[in-house]
Structure 1
Amino acid sequence: MDAFDAIPDPVVIDILNKVRDVKTLIRCRSVSKRFNSLATESGSLLLQLDQIGESDSEKDSTITSFFRSLFKSVNGLFPIFSKPAKPARILTPVQILAGFNRIRNLDVEFYGGDFKLEKGAAVKWKAEFGESLKSCVIVAFRSATVNTSAIDGDAETDSEFVSGLKTRVVWTISALMAASTRHYQMRDLVKEHKEMETLTVRDRDGEGAVVMDAAGMKEYRETEARGDEKVSRERTVVPNVRMSMRNAPSLKLESGICLEAATLVVVRQSGVASDGDDAELATGAFGDCMYGEAVAALLKRRSRDGKRRTCPRARPV
């Protein structure tokens, strides 16, 4: 008897849980009948998805486009031997995870980010959802440099604030649209896997993450069961929200990094929470990385007008 067969099933499942990658686990299912049954018992999974769209052709270099057109021209000279290319079949997350019936924790990664930023700029966000947006924390800056002699910039003038406000608004709206789109794309997955406890959807560039806990997913399923029309065809509609914004023309972190035009935006549903709650939410969003350090530094600054800004209900675009 193979010594591997003597390993108890719970131990094998624990090993497969450490693997996490869905594509690898699907390959494991073809190894043997035992692996075929045990691989689907994994409760902690990582699903990596490639985003394929028309925009990909725009990213091709001139040389790549030239060789592609040349190949098509040459291929056209041999119609007898050439076969029409079959369109690539794009599977949905539900189809890919068919057979995995014990998912507890699922991480979904999309290829590429959502923002087209100027060189040196960065935006990072984290959004929590139930049936709709509950909260979103956004940190952004125009550039980051290592400058030990830099000093935190004084409060900016009204004209400086107005000149940078457009960029901050674009960052905020783009983050909310990206979060709502990802939440909507997971609707079938949430309805199908009712035992899930955590769902995190992020991009491989590390720009943003959508988070849903067990209570949020239950709330979403109940809303769907009632037939409430609260989603558009492309993204979840953002409810009435209020935002607090803190920004610094120049922000020096304890690590010696200096951030230019640093901005912190906290978005929450209207009528919920207080200043202390917002601070706690923002502090726990990114951990101990540079973005977390920037959050801590920006929270020490008073919001621009000392008040929350309430935004009207967002309309689907």
Structure 2
Amino acid sequence: MDAFDAIPDPVVIDILNKVRDVKTLIRCRSVSKRFNSLATESDSLLLQLDQIGESDSEIDSPITSFLRSLFKSIHGFFSRPAEPNQIIPRTPVQILAGFDRIRNLEVELHGGDVKLQKGAAVKWKAEFGESLKSCVIVAFRSATVNDPSAIDGDDAETVSEFVSGLKTRVVWTISALIAASTRHYQMRDLVKEHREMKRLTVRDGDGEGTVVMDAAGMKEYRETEARGDEKGSRERTVVPSVRMSMRHAPSLKLKSGIRLEAATLVVVRPSGVASDSGDDAELATGAFGDCMYGEAVTALLKRRRNLLEMNSF
């Protein structure tokens, strides 16, 4: 008997959980009958996608065409080319068919959705249940290494500069919210299919945005779907009326020696959810960790807060 056959199933499953990558686990299923059964017992998975497929029944529309342009075709899930009659899974649900014990799933997409001018960057993290619960957005127009010999100037803005900058910040915010609501909607079938899942995280490979759903959020979403609430025909989750807590700095010098131009921090919550500066700080500082964006959050939280309301869209 092969020595590997003597390893107990729980130990093999624990090893496969460390692998996590769905592409590798699918290939493992071809090794033997034992691997075929044990690979699907993994409860912590990473699914890397270049594209999220749509069903053949969907009718093309400008929005659908736009969504399709966000992702490239899924490739590389199998070690050899598909046979002419072989059907390659196109949606996350089809790819994860047979994986019935998923508790923690991370979905990594090919790239970001928010298209900005050259040099600009945006990073966001959104939490969802049935709808948006919160979103933290950090963005800037450009980043440069600060010259230690340079004299810091006054970063006060004129009224016209403030108005022009406000328009840009609102565009950044709306773009991030649309990207987040699109990803949330595209994961709807996964949430409904895998009822034992406790946490779902959707992010892109370049680290632009992250959507998070915890166990309570997914339960809320499933209950809403079970009631058959009217959703209408759309390709993303509707963003509810929200209250935005916005802070910005025309020029922001970080302790790391980086200077950010037009740095912006936006904390978004549904209207009617009470919040103060302390709530903003707790939510924002926990969104990005200790990276440059986290440092920018800490600095921007010291700036004056502007409150804005936005209707559902």
TM over 0.5: yes
On the 8 A contact 1:40/1:99 being kept in 2, the answer is yes
Report what 2:78 is aligned to.
none
The alpha carbon displacement at 1:51 in A equals 2.3
Judging changes above 3 Å, is the alpha-carbon distance between structure 1 residues 170 and 230 closer, same or farther for their aligned structure 2 residues? same
Amino acid at match of 1:223: T
In the alignment, the residues of structure 1 paired with residue 105 and residue 280 of structure 2 have an alpha-carbon distance, to the nearest angstrom, of 27
Q: Is the Cα–Cα contact under 8 Å of residues 41 and 100 in structure 1 kept in the other structure?
A: yes
How far the C-alpha of 1:157 sits from its partner, in A, is 2.3
1:42 and 2:37 matched: no
Pairing partner for 2:300 from 298, 301, 306? 298
Aligned residues: CA RMSD = 2.3
- Percent identity at matched positions? 83
Deviation at 1:177, TM superposition (A): 0.4
Task: Give the superposition deviation at 1:54.
Answer: 6.6
| Rounded Cα–Cα distance in structure 1 between residues aligned with 2:14 and 2:242 | 42
Unmatched tracts of structure 1, length 5 or more: 60-84
C-alpha change, 1:58 and 1:19, in structure 2 (3 Å) is closer
Q: Distance in 1 between matches of 2:137 and 2:310?
A: 16
1:5 maps to amino acid: D
Contact 1:156-1:248 at 8 Å conserved across structures: no
Task: Count residues in correspondence.
Answer: 286
Contact kept in structure 2, 1:146 and 1:256, CA below 8 Å: yes
Displacement after TM superposition at 1:148 (Å): 4.2
Tell me, what secondary structure is at the counterpart of 2:287? coil
1:155-174, CA deviations, whole angstroms, 9 ceiling, x for partnerless residues?
32221111112221111111
What does 1:186-205 correspond to in 2, within 5 Å?
186-205=187-206
Aligned to 2:79: none
Distance change (3 Å), C-alpha of 1:202 and 1:164: same
So what's the TM-score if we normalise by structure 1? 0.85
Note if 1:12 corresponds to 2:7. Answer: no
- Rate the CA distance shift 1:3–1:286 in 2: closer, same or farther, 3 A: same
Q: Which has the larger radius of gyration?
A: 1
Structure 1 pair 277/166, CA: closer, same or farther in 2 (3 Å)? Answer: same
Distance (Å, rounded) in 2 between the aligned partners of 1:230 and 1:212: 19
251-260 vs 109-118, greater mean Cα deviation? 109-118
Q: Distance in 1 between matches of 2:68 and 2:103?
A: 37
- Conserved in 2, the CA contact under 8 Å of 1:181 and 1:235? yes
Which whole-Å CA distance do the structure 1 matches of 2:261 and 2:203 have between them?
25
1:210-268 Cα offsets, whole Å, 9 max, x none, are 00000000000000001112465200001111001101010011111100000001100
Contact kept, 8 Å, 1:153 with 1:249, in 2: the verdict is no
Q: TM-score, normalised by structure 2?
A: 0.86
**C-alpha separation in 1, matches of 2:304 and 2:10:** 53
Equivalent residue of 2:249, what SS? strand
- Shift, 1:273, TM fit: 3.1
Are the equivalent residues in 2 in contact too, given 1:123–1:139 (CA < 8 A)? Answer: yes
SS in 2 for 1:233: coil
Shift in Å, 1:277:
1.1
Whole-angstrom CA distance in 2 between matches of 1:117 and 1:205:
14
